A and B are shown apart, each in its own frame.
Chain A
Amino acid sequence: MDESRRTDAGLGAGAGLVGGLLVAVVLAGQGRLDWTQPLRVDPPIVGWLVFLLLNACGGALYGSVYRFQPGRLAATVGGGLLFGLLWWAGVWLTAIPLITATGPGWSVAEASTMFPLLIASVLTWGVAGLVFHAAGSRIIGDRALTRSVAATGVPIRHRIVIVGGGFGGVATAQRLEQLLSHRPEVAVTLISESNFLLFTPMLAGVASGSLVPRHVAAPLRATCRRTTIRRATGETVDHGGRSVRIRSSLEAAPEAIPYDQLVVAVGAVPAFRGLPDVAGRTFTLKTLADATDLRDHVIGLLDRAENEPAPDVRRRLLTFAVAGGGFAGVELVAELHDLVHDVLVYHPGIERDDLRFILVHSRDRILPELSDRLGAYALELLSRRGIEFALGVRVAGASRYGVSLSDGTFISTGTFVWTAGNEPAPLVHSLVTEGGGRVLATDQNLQVEGFHDIWAVGDCARIPDPDRDGQPCPPTAQHALRQGRQAADNLVAAMDSRPQRPFRFRALGMLVVLGHNTAAAEIRGLRFSGLLAWFLWRGIYLSKLPGFEKKVRVLIDWLLDLVSPRDIVIAGAANSRVATAEAAHDPVA
């Protein structure tokens, strides 16, 4: 119990005593204070004393619940009347009959017998409310305003800055909102390049046009209502100055955001491993803009290919290559396959045989995160649909005409998507240099090694997994979410000098969607595939999508997608980007 509540309880006890004394005089005259007789307590003065003691205790309860509120006399008295009714029902109609073994039965007859005590209770606590307010006005006065929950102007004593608005960053902010909800002196700021949390598991659905982009993103201001949101790019961390340098736009001057505790959750960016020309000639699939650009580009290519007279150019325009056989690459190539086949109805000039989909992967099997069996299942299923796989080879380079592979093969394509590797976002470099390593390594409590006030979660961090001999945790959304919550817990524990807890999480399972109502899943060792896994994928991810409204919208998108062909509209602003992209990819342009 905090000090102000103790003060209120003390005042309440006094007020209850005053109210009790006033009615006790009348009750004694009525002979009702010898109520302790059934307990064989003598002399009768004990009845008085116990009555007053009861009132003092009740007053303490009243004071600690109702609290002193300056200028709210009527509310305090009104609350006192209600408290009186509950006091009568709880004490006189229930507890005392129980103690004296005379009840309770709560019948009208009992209530009638106890009616004088009802009047007494209502009067006692009505008067106690008056006394409580008067005493509070004199003793506490306007000091009560400073504890008012709506008070503003509370000086900020501690600043927590989170950089990154992905799963890890948002989970940290949400957990901090819970933990610090009654501590307005701690300010939490979330810095994010976008103003939304992107639900990345559904990004391939956006790229394939089955989902509306806005529906897979939750606004940060709605998700983290009590966090200050800054839309900017975190550039570097100045640990000596305890600040993060951010830039809200390319033209804007950099700005330093001071922190007392910093949470780095900047995620990862595509890593092209120094391959010549690849960075400038590929699509990536990290952001909502990436997904919409890719979708618009593909639909734009179909429009152009239909009227393209040169067979080799037409072939190039209708060839779609994806690098990377992990979850992102496999889901994307399957979804692109669905998209293109679904909209062919609008392009009667294109035959199915004109289309070519290729997935390039450096290993011998796709989906290394899943078991061999499910990996083989996915490979067989997608091959049967006509998707080609170039396994055991790497991308060696890219040009305007296509992609060259490490085995010397050249794939002539107008669409090349890179999902083959990631690296921590640039902000991390400023910390790893100071920390002496290449990645943002943390201890088991998620604290960055070498920094007592910096924490890291998600894809940008290397967090040891105690269940796998200290191997790094995999970069999945389910890990990032839990790491964010744990980081918030440990951060607040550190602020309050309490012991921290190590991060420990056993993944629930893995799910990958393979397009056209099929998926593969491994949940707690159980394997699923086909339509059942597809339902599981949709059900689980729909339930994980943040926001009820977004869930409904995505559900409607999916239902419509089942019964109608996909939309092929290319919005105006995006159209110009497509033209640019086409120019970059099309050797004819």
Chain B
Amino acid sequence: MTPWPEVRRQVRQILVPGSLAGMIGGIAFGAAMVKLGMLPTVASLVRTDSPVIGFVVHLAIAAIGGSGLTILLRGRWMAGDVVFWGVAYGAFLWFLGPLTLQPLILGRLPTWDVTAAQAAYPSLLGHLIWGATTGFALVAIKARSAPPESSSAAGPPPPTVRLRGVVLRGLVAGLLGFGTIGLLPAGSERMLSPWGAGDAAGLGPLAVALLGATLYAVLHPRSTSTAGAAAVRGAGFGFILWVVGGLTLLPLLRGEGLTWSIMDARTTFPALPGTILFGATTALIYHWLGRLARLFFSDDVGNRSPDAGSWGLRAVGRGAAAGLVGGLLFTLVMVRIGYLPKVADLVGSDSEFVGLVVHFVIAEIIGVSYGVLFRRQAFDQSAAIGWGVSYGFLWWILGPLTLAPVILGTTPAWTVAATSAAFPSLIGHLAYGAGLGLTFHALEARYSPWWITRSDAEAARMAGRRIEAASAGPALWAVLVLVAVLLPVVLSPSP
């Protein structure tokens, strides 16, 4: 039986912050519920239709949900990743609540079909907003109650950073990321038009983007993981930015109010790929700026991590081999859906053989880039699958949705129709990513298992990295799952 002081400690350190953060998130979600008139539905859980009682019930549920999140995390997280955990957890509660438990409580069998998901779409956005806000609140509460380092006790102390430098880096990265998307033909237009570009509020999207980049920087002041992990994290943050900024804050700022309908989602969908790419690019630039800053401006020489040279070359070789395996898996999908002539079109041919060659060249390039960006990142097979699939997903957005149309002289295919057409390729990219990640990890495990340590000092360093990896990775993969799940909901025609 757990001793009483331990119970009190757990209540004080886990349940109280969790409930408090959950309620703060609940207020944000509740405010949206007021606007959308959803509170009577919540009140129906206690057999009433009073909005006030609905709000109270909602806050109670939010507090319980917040506690659940902190129990789930048990204090083992890196500050910035709590937001991802919050969003993923919010989505999980949406599956569990409105799609499953709510119909059961109301005496109906959950259908779990697209129609039901589309009907519950406003609730999904609400849960995501709740999760994100709860995550932010937890970061703030933890920052007040304990230094952030306490969450990663193992390993050497992290490099010191200055807030001013972090914010500046975030702003520069955001500006460059925004500019990179703007370089694509009609990229910024596609990304921004649903957000109100071109009208009087045209500066709004840039402001939201910069605000988002700054927020990302503040949440992730230290660039300690690999560039690849940073890009995936940025992609996840881009999705949150789309939900919080594009679907929520900007309409409110423009005085259009909240609709959160599935039709609105379809209208604003073209901004999603662009925002995800913006997030990934910004995070990547932010990561590299951090490395540069550490190289030139930091006195913390002990935290330099020279890992280039022949180690980098070996990573290139392993990435190429892994890309080949992933490419083979993808080929099965390509052949099945007859996609090879489309690939051949990139070099002005319609031959399947040429398509196959181009496909493998692309698979190799992506494999090599994976080796460079993700070397010494995956501790085990689960992480290898996670990072590989995430990278495959990112390349689905970057490849068939963005670069391929641009190479063919058109604009990025970020519309609902074009994304629907490219949906079969998503499955191929996921298979490619899984094969890529697993093979790369197998090669690392075979030839240089860097995670196996032979001294206490090395083990302490590795333990710190392991905590970070275990904290960030699964949250990001969960957000990725969420985006993938969201796609059929948004892309399927409404009844």
Contacts from A to B (Cβ < 8 Å): 26, 29-30, 65-67, 69, 71-79, 81-86, 89-90, 93-94, 104-109, 111-112, 115-116, 118-120, 122-123, 126, 149-153, 178, 181-182, 184, 187, 226, 228, 546-549
Contact = CB atoms under 8 A, between A and B. Distances in A.
Contacts of A84: 481
B449 A182 contact: yes
A149 B430 contact: no
A549 B308 CA distance: 9
Given A26-B112, A115-B112, A74 B477 contact: no
Interface in B420-448: 420, 423-424, 426-428, 430-431, 434, 445-448
Kindly list the 4 A-B residue pairs having the minimum CB-CB distance in the complex, ordered from nearest.
A78-B474, A106-B424, A116-B112, A119-B112
Contacts of A77: 72, 474
Contacts of B478: 78, 81-82
Contacts of A93: 427
B337 A106 contact: yes
Contacts of A126: 92, 95
Contacts of B477: 78-79, 81-82
Nearest to B491: A108
Contact of B462 (A94, A150, A182): A150
Contacts of A71: 74, 76
Interface in B308-350: 308-310, 312-313, 333, 336-337
Residue among A105, A108, A228 with most chain B CB within 10 A: A108
A126 B477 CA distance: 13
Given A119-B99, A150-B459, A73 B385 contact: no
Given A150-B462, A184-B452, A548-B313, A122 B434 contact: no
A195 B160 CA distance: 33
Interface stretch (B143-151, B221-229, B281-289, B375-383): B375-383
Residue among B100, B385, B427, B453 with most chain A CB within 10 A: B427
Given A78-B475, A82-B477, A111 B488 contact: yes
A108 to B, nearest CB: 4
Interface in B348-381: 379-381
A105 B337 contact: yes
Contacts of A112: 114, 488, 492
Contacts of B475: 74, 78
A119 B381 CA distance: 24
A150 B488 contact: no
A85 B484 contact: yes
B72 A116 contact: no
Contact of B420 (A81, A108, A546): A108
B27 interface: no
Contacts of B256: none
A94 B113 CA distance: 19
B75 to A, nearest CB: 10
B70 to A, nearest CB: 10
Contacts, number: 183
Contact of B423 (A108, A123, A151): A108
Given A65-B382, A79-B477, A115-B488, A106 B112 contact: no
Contact of A178 (B76, B428, B447, B489): B447
Nearest to A181: B449
Interface residues of B, dominant DSSP:
helix
Residue among A72, A79, A84, A105 with most chain B CB within 10 A: A79
B454 interface: yes
Interface in B464-478: 466, 470-471, 473-475, 477-478
A512 B447 CA distance: 33
A26 B76 contact: no
B477 to A, nearest CB: 4
Given A30-B109, A112-B492, A152 B455 contact: yes
Contacts of B242: none
Interface of B: 72-74, 76-77, 85, 88, 92, 95-96, 99-100, 109-114, 117, 308-310, 312-313, 333, 336-337, 379-382, 385-386, 389, 420, 423-424, 426-428, 430-431, 434, 445-449, 451-456, 459, 462-463, 466, 470-471, 473-475, 477-478, 480-481, 484-485, 487-489, 491-492
A81 B475 CA distance: 10
Contacts of A29: 109
A123 B117 CA distance: 14
B385 A118 contact: no
A150 B463 contact: yes
A119 B454 CA distance: 44
A228 B455 CA distance: 10
Nearest to B452: A149
Contacts of A65: 381-382, 385
Nearest to A109: B492
A548 B316 CA distance: 13
Given A86-B389, A118-B488, A120-B112, A149 B449 contact: yes
A82 B386 contact: yes
Given A26-B109, A106-B424, A107-B424, A72 B470 contact: yes
A386 to B, nearest CB: 41
Contacts of B474: 74-79, 82
A187 B88 CA distance: 44
Nearest to B444: A181
A389 to B, nearest CB: 41
Contacts of B462: 150
A210 B104 CA distance: 82
Given A107-B424, A150-B462, 5 more contacts: A82-B477, A86-B434, A111-B487, A119-B95, A123-B100
Given A86-B434, A106-B423, A118 B485 contact: yes
9 contacts: A26-B109, A78-B85, A78-B475, A79-B477, A81-B478, A112-B114, A122-B485, A548-B312, A549-B310
A228 B454 CA distance: 9
Nearest to A93: B427
Contacts of B337: 105-106
A109 B421 CA distance: 10
A147 to B, nearest CB: 11
Contact of A116 (B113, B426, B463): B113
Nearest to A223: B310
A13 B12 CA distance: 36
B492 A178 contact: no
Contacts of A83: 385
A579 B90 CA distance: 78
Contacts of B379: 149
A170 to B, nearest CB: 14
Contact of B454 (A74, A115, A226): A226
A173 B385 CA distance: 31
B375 to A, nearest CB: 14
B485 A151 contact: no
Residue among B74, B100, B112, B381 with most chain A CB within 10 A: B112
Contacts of A122: 95, 481, 485
Contacts of B445: 181-182
Contacts of B428: 106
Nearest to B466: A150
B492 A549 contact: no
Residue among B77, B423, B474 with most chain A CB within 10 A: B474
B111 A85 contact: no
B112 A30 contact: yes
A21 to B, nearest CB: 15
A75 B453 CA distance: 22
Contact of B74 (A73, A90, A152, A153): A73
Contacts of B310: 546-549
